[in-house]
Amino acid sequence: MTPPNTNAEQQEIRKKTPSDFIFGKVIGEGSFSTVYLAKDVQTNKEYAIKVLEKAHIIREKKSEYVMREKEVLRILESLCPYIVHLYSTFQDPGRLYFVLTYAKNGELLKHINLYKKFNFECTRYYSCELVLALEYLRSKKIVHRDLKPENILFDHNFHILITDFGSAKIEKSEDNDINDGTEDDDVQQSNRRRNSFVGTAQFVSPEMLQESKSSYASDLWALGCIVFQMASGQMPFVGGSEYLIFQKILRLEYKFPDGFDERIKDFIEKLLVLEPTRRLGASDETTYVSLRKHEFFEEVDFDDLGPPPKLS
Ligand code: ATP
């Protein structure tokens, strides 16, 4: 486990127990976790507490996934407003508890489905927040590897909160690129991904499928898929089976619906590029200057995005 950053944080982590919280309704269930809305009895602040049954995790061989999520969330601290923050972790004999930022407005996917698709303004706004979140992840040397609209939540003010870091990779050095020496980790993750990706294979990058390798550019591929889905309500790569979806991804076989905004189209086309190093932003340093400079973001001030537009 990565050591806590400060003494205060260390004390905070030590002193919390389940009795420090009033557990409320279940707000979600994962395949090996239940997420509760909970209130800190001292501060009255609301949190989402993810509860994991130890026996279930061991039985399902998910220990590595759980430890990875915790390790990555510890690295990410609380500096980025667009990432779910892990406030503390504790355990009792049977369970593990992760105290997380409460994303009151649920998953991005739910809202895309509700409105069928987002208008230009909303698509652009949330694309900007995603770019800022990806810049932050990159600065922390984290590749998420499972970005999709189910893993992007909305907080009480409808700002995004990226979650689910169980498949994430921690890059070992600044020089790491697609040909780096972290293939073992990628292979393990890729195997896990194949087993657990039913229904959402649509967001896997071609290099992860073909070579079991990932890099920051794999998240840029996923960004292209997510922007496509926000703007159209559909995923770019769909098929009757994972195999058929994978074939389409590897052949870059997707089609923009009629009337698709030309600026968004160009942005997506520059992200959905088979060769990861040629994706827009792949050669950028920590700031994705080439993404920020794209005409899709003309008139956007990345230093002050302002409040989110009303969803529609
Ligand atoms: P699986 O493990 O099967 O892939 P998952 O990753 O969605 O599922 P969890 O992360 O445990 O599993 O989340 C379960 C549900 O709880 C999801 O529907 C998610 O939207 C919701 N949820 C998770 N974290 C939060 C949070 N911080 N705030 C609000 N809802 C959350």
160 phi/psi in degrees, rounded to 5 = -75, 155
List the residue whose alpha carbon is closest to atom 30 of ligand 1: 103
17-19-23-28 Cα dihedral, nearest 10 degrees: 20
Pocket mutation for ligand 1, best pick of 45, 73, 164 (most atoms within 8 Å of C-beta): 164
Q: pLDDT (tens digit, 9 = 90+) per residue, 271-310? A: 999 999 999 999 998 899 999 999 999 999 999 999 999 9
Q: Are strands 86-91 and 46-53 parallel, antiparallel or unpaired?
A: unpaired
Is there an atom of ligand 1 within 6 Å of 49 CB? no
Higher per-residue pLDDT: 30 or 2: 30
Q: Which atom of ligand 1 is nearest to the CA of 107?
A: 20
Ligand 1: centre distance to CA 31 (Å): 9
DSSP at 238:
-
pLDDT band at residue 12 under the 50/70/90 scheme? low
Is there an atom of ligand 1 within 6 Å of 144 CB? no
Is there an atom of ligand 1 within 6 Å of 151 CB? no
How high is the ipTM of this complex?
A: 0.97
Ligand 1: centre distance to CA 117 (Å): 22
Q: pLDDT (tens digit, 9 = 90+) per residue, 257-267? A: 999 999 999 99
On the CB side of 77, CA atoms within 13 Å amount to: 10
Q: Which residues are catalytic?
A: 146
> Per-residue pLDDT averaged across 77-87, rounded?
89
| Strand partners of residue 48 | 37, 100
List the residue whose alpha carbon is closest to atom 2 of ligand 1: 30
Structure confidence at residue 197 (pLDDT): 43
Structure confidence at residue 1 (pLDDT): 37
Picking from 173, 171, 134, 160, the residue whose alpha carbon sits closest to that of residue 287 is 134
Q: pLDDT (tens digit, 9 = 90+) per residue, 43-69? A: 999 999 999 999 999 999 999 999 999
Residue 287, both tokens: 């700031």
Can you tell me the distance from the alpha carbon of 203 to that of 181, in angstroms, rounded to the nearest whole number? 24
Ligand 1: centre distance to CA 130 (Å): 19
Structure confidence at residue 181 (pLDDT): 35
Ligand 1: centre distance to CA 246 (Å): 25
> Per-residue pLDDT averaged across 220-238, rounded?
98
Picking from 220, 263, 258, 256, the residue whose alpha carbon sits closest to that of residue 237 is 256
Place of tokens 């619906």: 257
> Per-residue pLDDT averaged across 123-135, rounded?
98
Q: Is the pLDDT of residue 27 over 70?
A: yes
Helical segments of 173-215, H only = 183-196, 206-211
> Per-residue pLDDT averaged across 12-38, rounded?
89
Q: Is the pLDDT of residue 201 over 80?
A: yes
Is there an atom of ligand 1 within 6 Å of 4 CB? no
